[in-house]
Structure 1
């Protein structure tokens, strides 16, 4: 069977599944392999559960015409998604960056969906499987597809760009994320900039934060760029009015009061505003979209519990995002402030240095009620309270000592610090 023939079947059965526990009637099941499983062994189960076809790559599992044999299931999924992307007339916007990708993607989506039929990456399905699944969710009437791309090593963004083939691209920022895989900060910049490399090579449009010195330098000689700035009138002007705790913005004499905390969300909003302007969404619709957006899934969520206002930012953490979260929390008005910070992962040889730097910064900012959780934070030199694990925290903390005030909870996904809500 050819890729084109598979795509014809997909158009008749436009739902893809990679997990037999989530089979929907009439879908196409792709029998992916992992370190501890072989999807081919679930092919018959998928058919029994309602899948119309299964894509396999081992001949011994081919039992009927519903079993479609290809040389490599993952490669077939990726190639099919690119074929489908090119079959569609939808414009594709890809974005990557160290911090803020998912929030920015959601903001872009709420703005552009005011005028266009859009699809966007679900959750953070932004890897070599998630990007193809997003592209395959493009419908016949989709006008714009917003595709988030994540990476933790070199050449990954280049590969995802070759799959998504974006018409437009945006990089949120370059920070200290996945240092172990990228090989340091310069490696992060090089790896994330692979999106720029693709766009420039293919003469596509780039959206940029013109106040980010790295972005500005990288795109200095490139002409197909659309940028925002707080003061450089070569670009679209968007003003930052404050964040105590919610970000307030002004553009074209319109004041926008968001439900996003922290100055670090200013540029995320700006990217969505800029794209709304470029795609001719009305000022009123852009304002309404930004103001109505509420973060979810442990990303800068505001939760009020008794006398505590909790900022739950426990989806992920790295030295860059941790620092800006602390800076924002420091300026927030509150009778008392409490920090619950969990380990930052994937820092490799820099882990000890970066955790100590955060602890030193906490002291510099003047915080006193600090709870550090995880093996890396436990190794730091500090008088702050330290706990080897979440279980250790839960067993030893006296939550009755937390009076009226604000709480910041932040850590890497593997720490799952949202569990702290159970006993606050």
Structure 2
């Protein structure tokens, strides 16, 4: 990005100190004093345990050309760069991102949902990259700080921006969508994530549909038509959007006719009759693929390029990543995050690979389920028993409920193990697996099961 300092001041209605400044150019934005670069604007944010204003001298030494500054904060001596005074540096960050989004003026695709939004975002970006200059959300930059930073890091020649939007509570998606101002919006599904805060799936659906608050008039809204809550909610919305329902059932506008899960990919026929291939595991990813196809079609990408994009996506790590362990076992690394919906889908994948003699699941706690946490973990245990897994390994306080429920529903005790210490899991698995084994690793991010993955691979 490139902005003039005066442009920034005007965009956020700031007051500059000293009053007279040269019209310098800004070549980047950073909220992290450790990563600030030469010629960048520093935006000091304030959190419960940190205050970016404390590091102003550090960022000056590293080459920052200017910094935002909260009016309520005293200005230390020795400041040699312009400070732009604002009431709230976070809100100023968001205002600047909105300004820059409008200045670059790309088509914007907003993606949200309880599960699958990152994979869907990656697939959409891959499809569109075959035809446009595309900028997409990196990693987990999908919140009230990450979305503005994603937009501000957008190259000036960007033609399409694919922006992932996450949330924990009501009102958060509304803020993000009114910054990104999408032309197309995608809601992948409504799951159980965030029940701790939102209490019901109906509330989750309402929170996800906040994405329409910033959707342009006559914009395109692509929804999971297999989710009754979305259909019910849409009946109550007075909207001018062009709604397209995508799902597995034939009552949707777009659906798969035939699905074939292979060892390294999933192939399917679109309801239009076109054949597609995804290098992903899990039939559930077909719906994510269908949504990416629809975005491509709506933005005029030729079908041949859509197919090419789906075959070679640049995917975020630790999402159904298939690798080989040091003892030759096949490992499915899905340790980035977990909810009951995604846990069920990942476990079902184990049943599709019948060429393996031993199917092993390493599972941990699923977070943010509130009062229903015990129920959903016990439900996963019951599913493990019904799938007749050869070995179930759990960790975490709630993971113990998965293990006990699996035993209660018929899984033999000698096939179920629970570990309090995550670092004890890999040595155990190495003793109980071989090249004829397939291993799934899945839990919420805070369980750090990526450590198990690293130990199995190294």
Offset at residue 38 of structure 1 (A): 0.9
2:16 alignment counterpart: none
**Alignment TM-score, normalising by the size of structure 2:** 0.85
Secondary structure of the residue that 2:394 maps to in structure 1? strand
Matched, 1:20 2:33: yes
Cα distance in 2, alignment partners of residues 90 and 198 from structure 1: 15
Note if 1:412 corresponds to 2:412. no
Measured in 2, the distance between the counterparts of 1:394 and 1:328 equals 21
Among 30, 33, 42, the residue aligned to 2:43: 30
Q: 1:363 aligns with which of 376, 382, 385?
A: 385
CA distance in 2: counterparts of 1:148 and 1:275, whole angstroms: 14
Structure 2 CA distance for aligned equivalents of residues 361 and 169 of structure 1: 33
Q: Distance in 1 between matches of 2:305 and 2:251?
A: 24
- Aligned residue for 1:56, secondary structure, equals strand
Q: Which residue of 1 aligns with 2:100?
A: 84
What is the aligned counterpart of 1:300 among 307, 310, 320?
A: 320
Gaps of 5+ in 1: none
Per mean C-alpha deviation after superposition, the further-off stretch among 311-320 and 202-211 is 202-211
Pairwise mapping of residues 20-419 of structure 1 onto structure 2 (< 5 A)?
Answer: 20-57=33-70, 58-61=73-76, 63-199=79-215, 202-219=217-234, 224-229=242-247, 232=250, 235-245=253-263, 246-251=265-270, 252-293=272-313, 295-305=315-325, 306-333=327-354, 334-380=356-402, 381=404, 382=407, 383=413, 384-393=416-425, 397=428, 399-403=430-434, 404-419=436-451
CA distance in 1 between partners of 2:81 and 2:432 (Å): 66
CA distance in 1, matches of 2:204, 2:171: 11
Task: Give the conservation status (yes or no) of the 8 Å contact 1:43–1:56.
Answer: no
- Name the SS for the 1:199 alignment partner: coil
> 1 CA distance for matches of 2:360 and 2:99?
51
Q: Deviations over 1:9-57 (max 9, x none)?
A: 9993131111111111111111111111110111121011011111121
The structure-2 alpha-carbon separation of the partners of 1:203 and 1:240, relative to structure 1 and needing over 3 Å to count, comes to same
**TM-score of the aligned structures, taking structure 1 as reference length:** 0.92
- 2:94 and 2:258 map into 1 onto residues whose CA distance is 40
**Which has the higher mean CA deviation after the structures are superposed, 217-226 or 333-342?**
217-226
The verdict on how the C-alpha distance between 1:372 and 1:416 changes in structure 2, with shifts beyond 3 A counting, is: same
Change (3 A) 1:171 1:234: closer
Q: How many residues align?
A: 422
State the distance in 2 between where 1:11 and 1:298 align.
Answer: 41
Question: Per the alignment, do residues 413 and 398 of structure 1 end up closer, same or farther by CA in structure 2, a change over 3 Å counting?
Answer: closer
Contact 1:244-1:262 at 8 Å conserved across structures? no
User: How far apart are 1:294 and its partner, in Å?
Assistant: 5.3
The verdict on how the C-alpha distance between 1:423 and 1:123 changes in structure 2, with shifts beyond 3 A counting, is closer
Question: Whole-Å Cα distance in 1 between the matches of residues 60 and 181 of structure 2?
Answer: 32
CA-CA distance at 1:323 after TM superposition: 0.9
| Aligned counterparts of 2:112 and 2:105: Cα–Cα separation in 1 | 23
| 8 A Cα contact 1:301 1:312, kept in partner | yes
Secondary structure of 1:102's counterpart equals: helix
Unaligned runs of 5+ in 2: 13-21, 408-412
The structural deviation recorded for 1:3 is: 7.2
> What do residues 349-373 of structure 1 show as CA deviations (whole Å, max 9, x unaligned)?
2222211111111111211310011
